[in-house]
Amino acid sequence: MSLSLLLRLAWRQSLIRLLLFYALALAVGLALDEPWWALGLATAVVALRAYWRLYRVLRFLDWRKQLQTVDGQGLWAALETLIHRRQTENRARTRRLVRLLRAYRQAATAMPDGALIVNRHDGRLVWFNKTARHLLGLRYPQSLDTPLAEVFEGQPRVRDWFAAGITDEPLTDLPSPAEPMARLSLRLIPYSPTQWLVVVRDVTKLMRLEQVRRDFVANVSHELRTPLTVVHGYLDMIEPDEHPELAHMVEEMRRQSQRMTQLVEDLLTLSRLEAQESLPEEPLAMAPMLVTLRREAEALSQGRHQVLVEDRAGVDLTGSTKELHSAFSNLVSNAVRYTPTGGRILIRFERSADGGARLAVQDSGYGIPAQHLPRITERFYRVSTSRSRESGGTGLGLSIVKHVLSLHQARLEIESEVGRGSTFACAFGPARVRQRETAEAGAGGSVD
Ligand code: ADP
């Protein structure tokens, strides 16, 4: 029966019954010659009955028990029917929600990755699945409420990573607290303002494969060094004047063996950088560094380009002098190699808006088509293989730059327009900036 019809019927029934009851009471009262008493008694009966039904309804609502029977007809019965319907609907909804929740939990528990729900404000564990228990050596329920940093005791990286809320990059290569030989990666997923999901993945095999790859490249490069030195040595012993018919061949062989040597050296540099977790934290004086970079650019350019240096930052950096020099040199060398004669190369050191500093190498060269930019720092990725080879490139320069910068928590920013030139900038955070101690401190200006 529809609700409105039920209510309409109930109203009508109630009213008719009430009127009949009072009519009967009045008739009995008149018969007994006490009509007022009879009406008063009838009112008391009506009130008592109303209280009793109200008590019944309240009791069911209060005890959260389901109303099983609906008594009689009329308004009170309609109210009970309504409550009964709502209760039945609510129970069905709750059952559905519980089933859904259970299914989610089962799915999360069965996940091959570890899942932890962590309080955002204090980093304490709220829930974790079975895989997380195995991977992290947690125990249920004892480990609940333990701070994540405590689970990874001795790994301050985890605390810093969680506090910084780094969600775009996973934290990789962490030793597992349960099994030191196992390697884990953590990913942060902020799914609500108060609780975050931490996904733990066992990357031991992946790391081992990566190590095998690194070792292989490093070993091959290392093994190639000696034969190359021998070939070099013999080639140097051949005098082109004595064998003019071989001169062209020997020249080409020399060039190729030099290229191979450069390739081997770059591969070894990359392997060394990959194996390193951090670099020495030395003060790096930028004024002499800019002078060196300018000298290198001029030597490579042989007067074919205009080289300008601007030192506007008036600060120095902290980091590994050797590695940063190699990164900056790579950018300068690229700018010279990919800029035609008559072009302009500007090396600019400036402060950035976030309080950090940036070394930008700008050229007026060939430029790079936009579709190549996302892959430009991959090993051996070249926009034009022939141009790279002609200019003596190995295709590893920008990979080395990227590695060196990431070891300094810095970024490589690239802007380029075909035919107009490119700007490669190394952006360092404020933590890498240090006050310049020399007399030129804060001078700023041009060194060209
Ligand atoms: P390579 O040794 O080939 O120069 P890099 O890793 O240094 O290798 O650079 C990768 C590719 O990026 C180069 O082959 C070149 O196509 C492009 N590139 C790098 N720097 C510049 C630049 N300043 N102008 C134009 N193209 C560049």
Q: Can you list the domains of the chain with their CATH numbers?
A: 3-106 (no CATH), 112-202 (3.30.450.20), 209-275 (1.10.287), 282-446 (3.30.565.10)
Does 397 sit in the ligand 1 pocket, CB within 6 Å?
Answer: yes
Query: What pLDDT score does 64 carry?
Result: 63
| CA-closest residue to ligand 1 atom 20 | 334
Cα of 318 vs its chain's centroid, Å: 26
Query: What pLDDT score does 1 carry?
Result: 62
Question: What does the chain come to in residues?
Answer: 448
Query: What pLDDT score does 444 carry?
Result: 46
How far away, in angstroms, is 381 Cα from ligand 1 center? 8
Does 346 sit in the ligand 1 pocket, CB within 6 Å?
Answer: no
Query: What pLDDT score does 391 carry?
Result: 76
Read off the pLDDT of residues 133-186 as tens digits, 9 standing for 90 and up. 999 999 989 999 999 999 998 888 898 888 888 888 899 889 999 888 899 999
Query: What pLDDT score does 117 carry?
Result: 93
Q: Determine contact, residues 408/428, Cβ cutoff 8 Å.
A: yes
Q: Looking up tokens 């601007």, which residue turns up?
A: 310
Does 147 sit in the ligand 1 pocket, CB within 6 Å?
Answer: no
Atom of ligand 1 lying closest to residue 381 CA: 10
Does 368 sit in the ligand 1 pocket, CB within 6 Å?
Answer: yes
- Cα dist. 405→328, 339, 401 in Å? 10, 24, 6
Q: pTM (2 decimals)?
A: 0.68
Q: 357: exposed, middle or buried (C-beta count within 10 Å: 0-12, 13-18, 19+)? A: buried
Query: What pLDDT score does 442 carry?
Result: 44
Q: Could you read off the pLDDT tens digit of each residue along the chain, which spans 448 residues?
A: 677 787 888 888 889 989 999 999 999 999 999 999 999 999 999 999 989 888 888 887 776 666 666 666 778 888 888 888 888 898 899 999 999 999 988 888 888 899 999 999 999 999 999 899 999 999 989 999 999 999 998 888 898 888 888 888 899 889 999 888 899 999 999 988 899 999 999 999 999 998 899 899 999 999 999 999 999 899 888 888 888 888 888 888 988 898 899 999 999 999 989 888 788 899 999 999 999 999 999 999 999 999 999 999 999 999 999 999 999 999 999 999 999 999 999 999 999 999 999 999 999 999 999 999 999 999 999 888 777 777 778 899 999 999 999 999 999 999 999 999 999 999 999 999 999 876 554 444 444 4
Atom of ligand 1 lying closest to residue 367 CA: 25
- Cα dist. 203→25, 162, 168, 234, 340 in Å? 87, 19, 18, 47, 46
Query: What pLDDT score does 275 carry?
Result: 84
- Can you tell me the distance from the alpha carbon of 306 to that of 310, in angstroms, rounded to the nearest whole number? 13
Does 393 sit in the ligand 1 pocket, CB within 6 Å?
Answer: yes
| CA-closest residue to ligand 1 atom 11 | 382
Query: What pLDDT score does 438 carry?
Result: 63
Does 352 sit in the ligand 1 pocket, CB within 6 Å?
Answer: no
Does 363 sit in the ligand 1 pocket, CB within 6 Å?
Answer: yes
Read off the pLDDT of residues 293-324 as tens digits, 9 standing for 90 and up. 999 999 999 999 999 999 999 999 999 999 99
Does 400 sit in the ligand 1 pocket, CB within 6 Å?
Answer: no
How far away, in angstroms, is 391 Cα from ligand 1 center? 10
Beta strands in 90-170 (DSSP E): 114-119, 125-128
How far away, in angstroms, is 348 Cα from ligand 1 center? 19
Q: Determine contact, residues 222/236, Cβ cutoff 8 Å.
A: no
Query: What pLDDT score does 341 carry?
Result: 95
How far away, in angstroms, is 396 Cα from ligand 1 center? 9
Atom of ligand 1 lying closest to residue 335 CA: 23
Query: What pLDDT score does 69 carry?
Result: 63
Mutate to test the pocket of ligand 1, among 264, 326, 332, 334 (most ligand atoms within 8 A of CB): 334
Q: Determine contact, residues 135/180, Cβ cutoff 8 Å.
A: no
- Can you tell me the distance from the alpha carbon of 242 to that of 97, in angstroms, rounded to the nearest whole number? 92
Alpha helices, H only, 137-246:
148-151, 156-164, 204-237
